[in-house]
Chain A
Amino acid sequence: MAKLNVNGKSHEYQADPGTPLLWVLREQLGMTGTKYGCGVAQCGACTVHIDGVATRSCVVPAETVKAGSKITTIEGLSPNGGHPLQKAWVALDVPQCGFCQSGMIMAAAALLKSKPNPTDADINAGITNICRCGTYNRVRAAIKVAAGGGDAKTAGLSIQHADGSLT
């Protein structure tokens, strides 16, 4: 049995050589938050972190991931959706269909680690994921909110939440 360290836990799995990490996560480990979009590293829906680096898992054969490497998926980004980016995403109602958003958030989380205060150019270079619904401008705004300490009112969207709060 091969092993992968995912979200802080060691998982044993069986897969044929060449099976992409994406499909091991989805089909062997049952973690379906990471999505299949293209299979050729174009869209980024499958983005996970390997030792903190945003990686398109659809083109990474699982057996090439070192046993000591730490993989983080959307399920492990935060215990209860409490990562500053996830909070900003909720505050600004970023997702539309939502299918690309796991990968989008994982790419953004890696970006913020290397650039805590990203410029527009940094965001353009760091977020190359595809969103067909067209959430890019709210993605950009949410990254800035998270980078700026979490005050979602700065985005100026004026969204009223079910608990009565306004962002």
Chain B
Amino acid sequence: MSAVESTVSGAGRRRFLKGSAAAAGSLVVSFHIPFVRDAEAQGVAAAPEVNAWVVVQPDDTVIIRIARSEMGQGSLTGLAQLCAEELECNWAKVRTEYPTPGQNLARNRVWGNFSTGGSRGIRESNEYVRKGGATARMMLLQAAADEWKVPVAECTVADSVITHAGSQRTTSYGKVAAAASKLTAPTEVKLKDPKDWKLIGKRLARLDTVDKTTGKLVYGMDLKMPGMVNAAIRRCEVFGGKLKSYDEKVALKRKGVKKVLKVGDDAVAVVADTWWRAKTALDAMPIEWDLGPNAKASTASFAEVLKEGLSAKEAVVGNQSGDAAAAIAAAPRKVEAVYTYPHQNHACMEVMNATARWTPERCEVWTPTQNGEAAHAATAEAAGLPPAQCEVYKLHLGGGFGRRGAVHDWVRQAVEIAKQMPGTPVKLIWSREEDMAHGSYHPITHCKMTAGLDNDGNVTAFAMRISGQSILAGVAPQAIQNGKDPVVFQGLNPPGPESSLGYAFPAVMIDHAMRNPHVPPGFWRGVNLNHNAIYMECFIDEIAHETKQDPLALRRKLLANAPKYLAVLNAVADKAGYGTPAPAGVYRGLAVTHGFGSYVAACAEISVSADGALKIHRIVAATDPGYAVNPQQIEAQIEGSFVYGLGAALFQECTVKDGKIEQTNFHNYRPLRMAEMPVVEPIVMPSGGFWGGVGEPTIAVAAPAVLNAIFAATGKRIRNLPVGDQSLKKA
């Protein structure tokens, strides 16, 4: 058995990747269609599927099909738990595989949506995934009952072993799977009561860990195929610019270089035997660009546009109650502040890459993607072929964070290159510099907030104007309705189950003046909740300070009728010891919000040295996701989202000069590192009754909790992100 075939979680991969000892131990990928030839490869009879979600092999190995992508967030394991919970199979023999988008299309979307973003993987699909497991269980039991000629109601199952107590007979899923696969699926399926769950809620180990510790897991970048060539690409660094000319002779005379190809109207690729040769030839090749209309744009010019939006007459309302403007006008006192949030790149550890093979009849793509169906659509469009003649094979992602879901620019490029070399598999890998120059950036916004106060310091009205980019306007303009991008208001919506403002103000006006500078915005882990929670939670702190109230007491007062917000807030305050003395020199800050269906809060403990150096010591973080499928993985997501969120809050900004992004690599786009990582104490507190996401919500409370603690320590209110080189020396 080859290295790849031993992949613990890689049953799906096994079906289209064949390990090979040839070519100095390199990996060779076959072009077979998944599901069919794994059995051929292993010389065993192919196991028929019980239903779309479940395949049981004769040795009782259960393969659970996972439609959503695994990018580190752990939902591959969580989704398998959901299916296995109802299936009643032996967890130790569970494997997973990805169905392909092409099969989903051919089978009338039997696996539903493949999109893996917005922390939706589990919360949106849990019901039909559990039903998939329950249906398969019923069919397997029926097959055993039929064989024994006993009523199915007399049969029970545990850990893949079916028992008929009356006749003391047992069999196993593997033995009856072939018969079960021929049965008609039941239409009436009853799911377990949550109190009877055995796997959901357990702190189970992930299914995909081992090969990530040995280097065996094959990422998109690692693919190797017979006859494959490698491509490096450069797209005009100014968004909207075009390719004017290039001197291909310079590249073509270098060793190993096979082709220099125009890609679309704004990029050029060098194709060579190795990627290193392709990349260095591209670096050496003179290229001229038509920089287009954005050649003079800069971060400063964007700021002017956004600043104007803060006082513009036209704006789209997201949350309104009462007459906030009148109440503020009549208020004896006001608190007012303006905040800003920058462009940021996702900077996934694995840069964008895809391998494509095009013939006039068929186009296939292998790529890490958060949305196999969108990658499939992009493939078909770029290939100029009907979707039925295209296929996409997903690989585990080396990070996603939203970059690999909405737009598949790198897939289109790979297909456009492959189309110019029919029959030859081409692996396109972006350099880190290309990845930094062509992100799908966290949108920029400015935000002006005003609170009207009465003579006792009570808030009488709250007004919030957001000015800035709309992600949907960039990636899905058809989703904009009457000028409104609903995603803009994450965490600020009227009361409801999704991303709502918890604070009860007598009057509220929250609106958005859409301003879309040319740098393309995208969904960036936490999306608009990130900056909205910073704005809201820091401003609540400002109100508390102005009215001489404790920030926790003020939040409790305003959240008196929002018990789920209060519960997470109180949990972090209690565990952190808020209200009791902190260690000398250590200060605390709080934040609470609601996003992606979950309630989250954080309490940060920080210190600032005399020369202004920040140290984040500890963060206590609570999340109520309704149901917690795998608490130890939720804890990992909480910790991880703080790394992502704190790196962004402290260091990260993509600035624009002459129309292009100035940051090029990790030396000038700095992530958080080990030495800066605080202790994180996660509290997972599922209250039941709803399904919230976990990959993103907690990122939103990381920054405001720390910023509020910085204010407590120094009296300095950081209103422009990132903290960067703003002085934190005590005022």
A27: B residues at CB distance < 8 A: 230, 274-276
Interface residue total, chain A, C-beta cutoff 8 A: 69
B699 (CB) vs chain A CBs: closest residue: A134
Q: Tell me if B432 is interfacial: C-beta within 8 Å of chain A.
A: yes
Contacts of B224 in A (CB 8 A): 30, 32
Q: Which of B372-380, B465-473, B599-607, B641-649 contacts A (4 or more CB under 8 A)?
A: B641-649
How many angstroms from the CA of A162 to the CA of B205 in the assembled complex?
7
B71 is contacted by which of A15, A34, A75, A97 (Cβ under 8 Å)? A97
Report whether over half of chain A's contact residues are helix, strand or loop; otherwise say mixed.
loop
Question: A129 vs B224: C-alpha distance in the bound complex, in angstroms?
Answer: 26
Task: For A142, give the chain B residue with the smallest CB separation.
Answer: B213
Q: Is the CB of A160 within 8 A of B432?
A: no
For B435, the closest partner residue in chain A by CB is A38
Q: Say yes or no: A134 contacts B205, CB within 8 Å.
A: no
Which chain B residues border A125 with CB–CB below 8 Å? 675
Report A81-103 residues with CB < 8 Å from chain B CB: 81, 86, 89-90, 93-102
Q: Are A130 and B671 in contact (CB under 8 A)?
A: yes
Known contacts A90-B209, A162-B205; A102/B221 CB under 8 A: no
Known interface pairs A135-B640, A160-B204. Does A30 touch B26 (Cβ–Cβ under 8 Å)?
yes
**Which residue from A100, A132, A160 sits with its C-beta under 8 Å from B401?**
A132
Q: How far is the CA of A105 from the CA of B72 in the complex (A)?
A: 17
Cβ of A123 within 8 Å of any chain B Cβ, yes or no, is yes
CA of A16 to CA of B222, assembled, Å: 21
- Please measure, in the bound complex, the distance between the C-alpha atom of A125 and the C-alpha atom of B676, giving whole angstroms: 11
Question: In the complex the two chains form, what is the Cα distance from A36 to B433 in whole Å?
Answer: 12
The reply to whether the CB of A69 lies closer than 8 angstroms to some CB of chain B is no
Residues of B with C-beta under 8 A to A67: none
Q: Is A42 in contact with B666, judged by CB distance below 8 angstroms?
A: yes
The answer to whether A131 and B643 touch (CB under 8 A), given A30-B23, A30-B26, is: yes
Contact with A along B215-227 (1 / 0, CB 8 A): 1111101101000
* CB interface residues, B 418-436, toward A, < 8 Å: 429, 431-432
| Cβ contact of B399, chosen from A23, A97, A124, A139, cutoff 8 A | A97
Within the complex, what minimum Cβ distance (angstroms) separates A124 from chain B?
4
* Chain B contacts with A in 653-704, Cβ cutoff 8 A: 665-667, 671-675, 677, 679-680
Asked whether A164 is an interface residue with its Cβ less than 8 Å from the other chain, the reply is yes
Query: Residue A96 contacts which of B25, B204, B350, B640 (CB distance < 8 angstroms)?
Result: B640
Given the known interface contacts A23-B275, A158-B203, the answer about A140 and B674 at a Cβ–Cβ threshold of 8 Å is: yes
A96 contact set on B, CB distance < 8 A:
72-74, 636, 640
Query: Given A99-B398, A133-B640, A137-B677, A93 and B632 touching (CB < 8 A)?
Result: yes
Contact A19 B214 (CB under 8 A): no
The minimal Cβ–Cβ distance linking B613 to chain A, given in whole angstroms, is: 15
Min CB gap B446→A, angstroms: 27
Compute the total of residue contacts between A and B using a CB distance below 8 Å: 214
Q: For chain B, which range describes its interface: under 10, 10 to 19, 20 to 34, or 35 or more residues?
A: 35 or more
With CB as the reference atom, state the residue of chain A lying closest to B350.
Answer: A99
**In the bound complex, do residue A34 and residue B215 qualify as a contact, i.e. CB atoms below 8 Å apart?**
yes
Interface flags for B340-367 (1: CB within 8 Å of A; 0: not) read: 0000000111110000000000000000
Known contacts being A134-B639, A160-B205, is A101 close to B213, with CB within 8 Å? yes
Describe B's contact surface by its main secondary structure: loop
> Which chain B residues border A131 with CB–CB below 8 Å?
349, 643
Task: State which of A11, A26, A98 has its C-beta within 8 Å of the C-beta of B208.
Answer: A98
Choose from B274, B398, B400, B636 the contact partner of A98 (Cβ within 8 Å): B398
**In the bound complex, CA of A162 to CA of B350 (Å):** 29
Please tell me if B37 contacts chain A, counting CB pairs below 8 Å: no
Contact yes or no, A130 B349, CB < 8 A: yes
Q: What distance in Å separates the Cβ of B298 from its nearest Cβ neighbour in chain A?
A: 25
User: How many whole Å from B30's CB to the nearest CB in chain A?
Assistant: 17
List A contacts of B672 (CB < 8 A): 134, 136
Write out the residue numbers on chain B whose beta carbons fall within 8 Å of the beta carbon of A161. Answer: 204-205
Q: Is the CB of B214 within 8 A of A75?
A: yes
CB atoms of A42 and B665 under 8 A apart: yes
Of A16, A135, A158, which one neighbours B255 at CB under 8 angstroms? A16
Contact B675 A124 (CB under 8 A): yes
- Whether B572 is near chain A, meaning CB under 8 Å from some CB there, is no
Q: Which of A16-62 contact B (CB under 8 A)?
A: 16, 18-20, 23, 26-40, 42-43, 45
Question: CA separation between A105 and B212, bound complex, in Å?
Answer: 10
Given A36-B221, A73-B215, A89-B213, does the pair A132, B399 have CB atoms closer than 8 Å?
A: yes
Q: Which residues of B contact A71 (CB under 8 A)?
A: none
**Are A97 and B398 in contact, CB atoms less than 8 angstroms apart?**
yes
Instruction: Please give me the residue from chain B that is nearest to A125 by CB atom.
Output: B675
Alpha-carbon separation in the docked complex, A133 to B219 (Å): 16
Contacts of B401 in A (CB 8 A): 132
A64 to chain B, nearest CB (A): 16
Which B residues are in CB contact (< 8 Å) with A18?
Answer: 280
A140, B680: Cα distance in complex, Å: 12
Q: Kindly state the separation between the CA atoms of A81 and B212 in the bound complex, as whole angstroms.
A: 10
Q: Mark B155-195, 1 if CB is under 8 A from A, else 0.
A: 00000000000000000000000000000000000000000
In this complex, which of A23, A32, A105, A164 has the most chain B Cβ atoms within 10 angstroms of its Cβ? A32
Q: Does B594 contact A (CB under 8 A)?
A: no
Cross-chain contact of B215 among A32, A97, A123, A129 (Cβ < 8 A)? A32
A45→B149 CA distance, assembly (Å): 59
Instruction: Give the contacting residue for B92; candidates A73, A74, A95, A164; CB below 8 A.
Output: A164
- Enumerate 11 A-B pairs (CB-CB under 8 Å) in ascending A order: A27-B276, A32-B27, A33-B214, A34-B215, A40-B666, A77-B214, A96-B74, A98-B398, A125-B675, A136-B673, A157-B203
Identify the 8 closest CB pairs spanning chains A and B, nearest first. Answer: A33-B215, A134-B643, A30-B26, A98-B212, A134-B640, A97-B72, A99-B398, A96-B72
**Which A residues have a C-beta under 8 Å from some C-beta of B?**
11, 15-16, 18-20, 23, 26-40, 42-43, 45, 73-75, 77, 81, 86, 89-90, 93-102, 105, 123-125, 127-140, 157-164
- Apart from A93-B205, A137-B680, A162-B94, what 6 extra A-B contacts exist at CB < 8 Å? A23-B275, A26-B222, A81-B214, A135-B639, A159-B632, A161-B205
